[in-house]
Structure 1
Amino acid sequence: MNPNIPSTPSSAPNPFLIQQEDEIDLKVILFNYLQYWPWIILFAFFGVLSAFLFNRFATPIYKVESTVIVKDENTSLGADLFASAGLAGLQGKSNIENEIGILRSYTLAYSTLSQLEMNVQYFREGVFSNQQIYGNVPVFIKADWTKDQAVGGLFRLEVIDENRFELEVEDDNFQLFNPQDPNYKSKLETLELNSSVFEFGKPVSSDFFHFTVEKVSALPGETLFFRLMDTPSLALKLTQDISVAPTNKQSSILTLSLETPVRRLGVDYLNKLMETYLKRELDDKNRTAENTIRFIDQQLSGITDSLRFSENKLQQYRSENKIFNLSQEGSIIFERLQELEKEKSLNEINLKYLQTLNDYLKNSQTGDLIAPSIIGTSDPLLNALVQNLSELQADRVRLTANFSEQTPQVRDINARIQSTSKALQENVGSAMTNTQNLISNLNSQIRMIERDINRLPETERNLLSYTRQFTINENIYIYFLQKKAEAEITKASNMPSNMILDFAKSGQLPVAPKRSLNLLIGLILGLILPIGFITVKDFLNTKIEDPKELEKQIKVPLIGMIGRNNSGDALPVLNNPRSTVTESFRSLRADLTYLSPQKDKLTLLFTSSISGEGKTFVSMNVASVFALMGKKTILIGLDLRKPRIAQDFNLVNDKGMSTCLSSSTSWQEVVKSSGYENLDVILSGPIPPNPAELLLQERFGKIVKEIKDQYDVVVFDCPPVGLVSETKELFAYSDVNFYVFRQGYSMKGNTQILNNLVEKGGVTKMYGILNDLHIDKGYGYGYGYGYGYGYGSNSYGYHDEVQLPWWKRALRRKS
């Protein structure tokens, strides 16, 4: 190695780099994407077009909404009594969540569908898909759901004439619905028709379907499609499709919404759902009155016989004894006795009710509870407890129809039922004790009056006894008749606690497809797909593309960039001196003069990592640009394995450096004229068997010394340092060394070869050159590396300016 060559630290700042702001990186990224702008615009166009076509032909979905007001348990009857009795915890939370569960329950949906004609779906043929119709259908199909039916698949029906139609199976998505096992359907592999032509109004039957087609308004040649749907499947689907939510957190108003392609169908279903919901609530309320009426009827059936018997006995005694009225004393005693026995009868009825209620509670038979107020019990807490327990039981029945026993809602209501039952049992026990004590006290008073009766004459005493028995039965009978009438009035006047606030209505505009959003998504996807592909491609790209990235990776200054040579001429400096590429080499020549200002003579060495990176192209044109300057220049081809210089200068590679080193031929004998002034060439010569050994000979050093004495500029075109070893020994003969990379060709990992030469090999005066820079990729925008982009515009007429893409010209004007 030449010890006289000054060392350049790898960390020294590059004096030839125009420092750029970080924002330039954004321009580089933008340019990298903009070079693919036709593809990006094309994909964006197709994205928007696809979204437009989807909006145009997709089935519109409409939102149907209705609202109901639900009762709040915290304001129900007896709430204040629970609080005053220390039983406020039995009231529980607001039942909004329970009502939401009921409205979305399978049982309620099934009951609703049973009242509607929705088991047959009708369709008309559309451009891309069939359009469902509802209401005014040209034919009406009545299916026999007591027999097996093929459901889920599509039938095609074409009207032949006024009396006949043709039926075909359109798809194979059929399942067999068995009414004996409605929750299980088996897959039908094939479905074939025994005949394809049928008559309107006559049964269409096979082993798998049974229905009748009635003609409504269909015309000959008209075609439509229909699908049979079993009620369980429809109910399950609708429970998933319907949405129920409170209007706000504090509100007891629930909004029911259903999205459907057929607005009228959604309106009919929601209205019928709310009607069924309120009817079920009213049925639950009426159940208590019905239980009371049934209890009274049972009591009346017994008391009627007793009343008839006692009446007959009284009439018989009067006829036989010719006595019809009591004496004044007897009447007074009878009136006193009648009041006490009437009160006793009422208490006995009350006790009997309490005993019945107690038996129900012990046996957990709370479904037949009777309202105490109907029987005559005036205890407000007892009335409130029974009413609350009855409502809880009704809520539980509705909840368990849609939820399992392990769900939080059912567990919560079970706990509340258990607590209410326990409180009711305690209250009933206390009421029974009080009633028994009251009856015992009345019996004592009656016995005292009976002693006065014993002082009456026997005939009058017997008449009083028969009259007394008849009056007791009559009072009980009248009492029960009165209570039955009251219960019937209560039942007739019952109203649902909940109410419909708004009947179902549909918006005029569809909620799907969301046209503006779909167009935006189409545009975004149209942009993301190509940009994402470009980003992934660049991320996976292992080739050197960005000069700034290369500058960061190498440990030496990046002195220049050579633009792409689009002329196809390997010697643009000599043959096209006005080109931008030529200007790149002129700029590089100026930089080299700056690097060695004290040297009248220069020896330059060019190498690369692998073949094909353009080191020969760069070395030939660097030699040429010095020759144009008037410097006596010689280009020496030291790539003995793969010579290229002879071909580019149209010379014959019959002799050269290999000839000098392998024989006694002097170097002067192998010098050839390039055909251009001030530029000579020593070719590599015929390929020798031992190129490495030839270049390492002592004679090579002597030849180089003699050549340096004769020429101002000596340019070595060396083999790739990444492929052969002799290049490392040639650095000792040069003043300045250049490592050539090629954009889009050189591997990023090759930078490590250069770094090892500098850090471990001790090579000094080393600089990097990026060759074949593509102007349309945007890299190098604004860089001061010697590439003439931007230079020509300020020196119009000095060289031919490269025609830039339109988008780059626009950005250039703005910057």
Structure 2
Amino acid sequence: MEEEKEVNALSGIFDVKQFLQKLLKLWWLFLLCMIIGLSYAYYKNQFIQTFYRIESLISIKDNNNPLFTSNQSLTFNWGGTTDKVTTAITQFKSRSHAEVVVDQLQFYVNYIKEGDYYNIDAYKQTPFYVFVDTSNAQLYQKNIRIKVLDNDRFELSTTFGGTIAGGFDYAKKEPTSVQVPQGDWSQIFRFGEKIELPFLKVTIERRSDQVSAGEWLFNLGNYWGTVMRYKGIAVSQQPDGSSILNLSMQGLNKQRLIDYINKSSEVLVTEELRKKNKFAVSTIKYIDSSLQKQSKLLKESEEELSTFRNNTQLLDATVQNTDFNSKLTGFEIQKRDLLNRLNYYENLDTYLKRRSDYTAIQAPSVVGISEGSIGGFIAQLIGLSEERKRLEFSLKPDAPAFREIDRQIDALKTVIYENIENSTSLLESELSQINREIGKLENQIKRLPKEQQEFLKIQRQFDITQQAYNVFQAKRAEAELVKAANVSDVYIIDEAKDTGQGGSQRDSNINYLIALLIGIAVPVTVAFILTLLDSFIHSPKDLEKLSPVPLIGVIGQVKHDNNLVVYEKPRSAIAEAFRGLRSSLHFIYNQDTGSNTGSKTIMVTSSVSGEGKTFTSINLATVFALSGKRTILVGLDLRKPKIFDDFYIENTIGVSNYLVKDATLNEIIKSSGIENLDLALSGPVPPNPSELILKKQMAIMIDELKQSYDYVILDTPPLGLVADAMEISKYADASLYVVRQGYTKRGMLDIVNDKYVKGELGNVSLLFNYFSDKARYGYGYGYGYGYGAYGNGYHQDNAPKTAADRLKQQISKLFTLSRKRG
């Protein structure tokens, strides 16, 4: 019971029962969708390919130079392990990194093996390899068939639609166009031969000494699409937060995945070592330029000293007896060292103010600056500059990360400026002291003979130059040693490798499941939409929801040749339904008047034509007559007469004649052939039926009929089409408003509802006709009587029947009439 209440409550919003009924009627659509869906699923399953997953492990560590662990000038930590791990992950996923790997592997070359259902990526499965000359534009995204003829020769072929085709410059990485031969093209080449065509410049090599015959396809594909596809390499830390990185990729060709992951790791190893050596390389470059200058000066000093000795008779021993030379030389070397430091600070200050890329700063140790603070700050500055350059490949220029790095760089530069200022002040003080010492020694040397003074000057210049040259040589050797001892911070633990691991496929049952769901969803959706769009009334419950007018009875369906169901089948369910209707009408009369005696007038109407009001009128009149009551059925549907057909009486004279006083009441009353039941047919169709109904003659007719009969049944026009029924209702003691299942629309009840609420239509009840819901009401019969379309014959004349139809109808009526009379 509670379940039924829930269904009924839901039906107030959506008719669940009607929805289920429609769903059952769509069983064929279920079957059709299932067949189509499962067939398509089977077809799609033929395209399921095997996916492989390849992994590699690498380690990111601080591999400091073991020979110079304390020297921050040539080796430094630019962020620690955590920063290096984050940087490595970002670099693996960067576009620039993918470009380098794709370029080195030439992964934009696609090798294709044609299959029954789909083409297969045949990378490293073909007996040849295509090497692309990237210095020239190439034919772009056009399949070229390669047919291996023998161990030395192969044939290339394709078809061109015009003389110009799309091309791509893989060096400049931009699209272009190439000249091609129009129509079918083919040409035979040899393995290892350089192919020089206007649209294709490649070399095709054999993979082994012996190649097998066969056909394949290859093309030079979408470069940027390839880069972006491999940019999606998966990188994760194992475990989280550690310096161990797991590289993994998934794809259709196992060997492609292996080569990309290994080459990607190799590129990162090389790049990290290059970054680590960049400081040393820059320093070596600076030292080499300084050595070149010092070598030239040393040679000039040596030549000058040799010339002086050859041109003078001065003995070295005389000079060696004094310590002027050694002292002054020492001071000059110190002075030059101080000047180099001051010059370095001056250049550093200028560099920081004028440049934004700080990765090319020379090491402070090159000029003898051993202060750990300045070296450390410069190392940090270079590290931040390197980090900023890396982020430029993956972040937008206005990203918050750039603002943070720029803030750190500015803070470091401020500290470096302060160090430069303090160091410069101290160095200038030391320089002034050395200059004073040099001045004292020079004054003493001036007392010596001129030849000795000149010799000391030349000798001193030679010693100073040689000392500087030796220092630069030592620094260069140190830088080379540091560079040679550097190792990459990236270490490959497990390289990607084919260990025979199998691939995985998408579960083919998913396609069948989807087909099953679609097969169910389509009919359900159709039934749902049909239910939502269905505006017809289907059950007495619908009437209870849609109208305040009480329901007096339900008439089921019955298959019969005419409308005389109660008379010809008195024991049928339909006859019982009309007897129940008769009892209900008696109850209404008794309740309304307090008496069940006297003549009663019952009007039968509906919304539109075809809802069964004539059927109801005939059988209701019959059931009253069979109960012994004198009953007359009056045809007041002056626009579309019907009653005469069922009683096989000619409609030559009737109510329309009486209303125009062309006949008396006795003249229009006919016997129906049923005991106690008379008929007053509507008569010929008048041009003004509404005006006739309004005449006083109508009231007179009803009064006279009520005096002669116990029950007067009025068959009226539809209330929803014409106003006649409302004029007739004032003569009726009760009104029956016929609603037909699956025919009457919900909105049609608005008319009777409005008139009922306003009190314009009194004692009205709804009669539900043509009902076939056996499960709930026990009526399983149908009568198959055609009622026609809405409004036929009320606003325009019916289309005349053919002559053959009219002849057949007349013969049938005459035959029936003669049989009754006989």
Q: Give the TM-score range, shorter chain.
A: 0.7 to 0.9
- Supply the AA of the counterpart residue of 1:641: R
State whether residues 45 and 523 of structure 1, in contact with CA within 8 Å, keep that contact through their aligned partners in structure 2.
no
1:599 counterpart SS class: coil
**Candidates 391, 395, 416, aligned match of 2:383:** 391
Given that 2:99 and 2:227 are in contact with CA atoms closer than 8 Å, whether structure 1 keeps it comes out as: yes
Of stretches 63-72 and 719-728 in structure 1, the one that deviates more from structure 2 is 63-72
Number of aligned residue pairs: give it.
Answer: 744
**Of 203, 220, 223, the match for 2:215:** 223
**TM-score, length basis structure 2:** 0.76
1:268 corresponds to which letter in structure 2? D
CA displacement at 1:720 relative to structure 2: 0.9
User: Is the Cα–Cα contact under 8 Å of residues 656 and 682 in structure 1 kept in the other structure?
Assistant: yes
**Contact 1:330/1:464 (8 A) holds in 2:** no
- Aligned twin of 1:615: 613
In the alignment, the residues of structure 1 paired with residue 756 and residue 703 of structure 2 have an alpha-carbon distance, to the nearest angstrom, of: 25
Checking the alignment, whether the CA contact within 8 Å between 2:23 and 2:523 is kept in structure 1 is: no
- Is 1:556 paired with 2:549? yes
| Aligned with 1:115 (options 98, 104, 118) | 104
Match of 2:588 among 585, 595, 605: 595
Answer yes or no: is the 8 Å Cα contact 1:635–1:717 preserved in 2. yes
Deviates more, 1:583-592 or 1:732-741: 583-592
Partner residue, 1:43: 33
Q: Are 1:301 and 2:287 an aligned pair?
A: no
Q: Does the 8 A contact of 1:164 with 1:198 survive in 2?
A: yes
Is 1:532–2:525 an aligned residue pair? Answer: yes
Could you say which residue in structure 1 is the equivalent of 2:699? 701
AA matched with 1:184:
P
Report the Cα offset of residue 115 of structure 1.
Answer: 0.9
Shift of 1:57: 1.6
Q: Deviations over 1:296-341 (max 9, x none)?
A: 12222233344556667778869966656998x867x888777766
Residue from 133, 139, 142 that aligns with 1:144: 133
Counterpart position of 1:53: 43
How far did 1:650 drift?
4.4
User: 1:640, 1:685 within 8 Å by CA — same for their partners in 2?
Assistant: yes
For 2:427, what is the secondary structure of its paired residue? helix
**Residue identity opposite 1:168 in structure 2:** T
After TM superposition, the structure 1 = structure 2 runs for residues 65-76 of structure 1, keeping only pairs within 5 Å, are none
Structure 1 residues 5-34: Cα deviation after superposition (integer angstroms, max 9, x where no partner): xxxxxxxxxxxxx99841455642542552
Deviation, structure 1 residue 749? 3.1
Which of 82, 102, 125 in structure 1 is aligned with 2:114?
Answer: 125
Secondary structure class of the residue paired with 1:741: strand
Identity %: 31
Deviates more, 1:585-594 or 1:456-465: 456-465
1:361 aligns with 2:352: yes
**Which residue pairs with 1:758 in the alignment?**
756
SS in 1 for 2:129: strand
Contact 2:558/2:781 (<8 A) preserved: no
> What is the rounded CA distance, in whole Å, between the counterparts of 1:394 and 1:427 in structure 2?
22
The alpha-carbon distance between structure 1 residues 36 and 503, as it changes in their structure 2 partners (threshold 3 A), is farther
1:321-336 counterparts in 2 under 5 A?
none
* Alpha-carbon distance in structure 1 between the residues aligned to 2:257 and 2:570: 80
Q: Is the 8 A contact 2:538 2:742 kept in 1?
A: yes
Aligned AA (2:691): E
What residue in structure 2 maps to residue 198 of structure 1? Answer: 188
Cα deviations across residues 127-156 of structure 1 (Å, max 9, x unaligned)? 343222211214433443333322012234
| SS of equivalent residue, structure 2 residue 686 | coil
Shift in Å at residue 369 of structure 1?
1.1
Q: Cα offset for 1:291?
A: 0.7
Q: Flag structure 1 segments of 5+ consecutive residues without an equivalent.
A: 1-17, 73-81, 83-89, 776-787, 793-798, 803-815
Structure 1 residue 484: Cα displacement: 1.8
Cα separation, partners in 2 of 1:219 and 1:603, compared to 1, 3 Å: farther
What CA distance in whole angstroms lies between the structure 2 residues aligned with 1:528 and 1:725? 47
**Does 1:790 find its partner at 2:776?**
yes
Equivalent positions of 1:625-704 (< 5 A) are 625-626=623-624, 633-663=631-661, 665-667=663-665, 670-672=668-670, 674=672, 679-704=677-702
Q: How far is 1:455 from its partner? A: 9.4
**1:381 and 2:373 matched:** yes
| Mean CA deviation greater in 657-666 or 605-614 | 657-666
State the Cα deviation string for residues 755-784 of structure 1 (Å, max 9, x = none).
332244621112223434464xxxxxxxxx
Could you say what secondary structure the match of 2:726 adopts?
helix
User: How many Å separate the matches in 1 of 2:780 and 2:415?
Assistant: 104
Could you list the per-position Cα deviations for residues 208-267 of structure 1 after superposition, in whole angstroms to 9, with x for gaps in the alignment? 3344555667655x433222126455335544x556688999778777665543343233
Query: Quick one: distance in 2 between partners of 1:433 and 1:649?
Result: 134
Identify if the C-alpha distance between structure 1 residues 800 and 674 changes in structure 2 by more than 3 Å, giving closer, same or farther. farther
Q: Give the corresponding residue for 2:733.
A: 735
Confirm or deny that 1:283 pairs with 2:281: no
Task: Write the letter of the residue equivalent to 1:394.
Answer: E
2:429 to 422, 430, 437: 437
Residue 706 of structure 1 and its aligned partner are, at CA, apart by 4.2
- Structure 1 residue 732 displacement after superposition: 1.8
Secondary structure in structure 2 of the residue aligned to 1:114: helix
Whole-angstrom distance in 2 between the partners of 1:566 and 1:336: 140
Q: TM-score, normalised by structure 1?
A: 0.76
CA distance 1:498–1:20, change in 2 (3 Å): closer
Aligned 8 A contact 1:44 1:523 in 2: yes
Give the letter aligned to residue 267 of structure 1.
Answer: I
Residue in 2 that maps onto 1:135: 124
Residue pair 1:374, 1:486 contacting (<8 A) in 2 also:
no
| C-alpha displacement of 1:103 | 3.7
Please give the secondary structure, in 2, of the residue aligned with 1:115.
Answer: helix
Does 2:255 match 1:268? no
Moved more, 174-183 or 133-142: 174-183
Counterpart among 149, 158, 169 of residue 168 in structure 1: 158
Deviations 1:345-381 (A, max 9, x none): 5444433433333343344163421122455423233
- The 8 Å contact of residues 156 and 170 in structure 1, kept in 2 or not, is answered as no
Distance of 1:266 and 1:578 partners within structure 2: 86
Shift in CA distance, 431/24, structure 1 to aligned 2, threshold 3 Å: same
1:360 partner letter:
Y
2:429 aligned partner, one-letter code: N
Paired position in structure 1 for 2:483: 491
Report the alpha carbon displacement of residue 612 of structure 1 after superposing the two structures with TM.
1.9
Counterpart position of 2:724: 726
- Counterpart Cα distance in 1 of 2:123 and 2:777: 74
- Give per-residue Cα distances to partners, 1:479-529, cap 9 Å, x unaligned: 323322222222223344456677558995558x57566555544444444
Judge conservation of contact 2:548–2:753 (CA < 8 Å) in 1.
yes
Q: Deviations over 1:567-603 (max 9, x none)?
A: 6764555556676666654554454344334435643
Indicate if the aligned counterparts of 1:122 and 1:224 stay in contact, CA closer than 8 A: yes
Q: Report if aligned partners of 1:123, 1:130 keep a CA contact under 8 Å in 2.
A: yes
Q: Is the 8 A contact 1:175 1:186 kept in 2?
A: yes
Paired letter, 1:718: T
Instruction: Pick closer, same or farther for the CA change 1:719–1:153 going to 2, 3 Å.
Output: same
- Say which structure, 1 or 2, has more relative contact order (CA 8 Å, 6+ apart): 1
Q: Distance in 2 between matches of 1:458 and 1:702?
A: 167
Residue 22 (structure 1) aligned to one of 5, 9, 13: 9
Q: Report the CA distance between 1:718 and its aligned residue.
A: 0.9
- Contact kept, 8 Å, 1:160 with 1:166, in 2: the verdict is no
Question: For the structure 1 residues 455 and 177, does the alpha-carbon distance in structure 2 shift closer, same or farther, using more than 3 Å as the test?
Answer: same
In structure 2, what is the Cα distance between the partners aligned to 1:161 and 1:57?
33
Q: Distance in 1 between the 2:245 and 2:578 partners?
A: 80
Indicate the residue corresponding to 2:712 in structure 1. Answer: 714
Task: Give 1:35 shift.
Answer: 3.3
Cα contact 1:200–1:215 (8 A) shared by 2: no
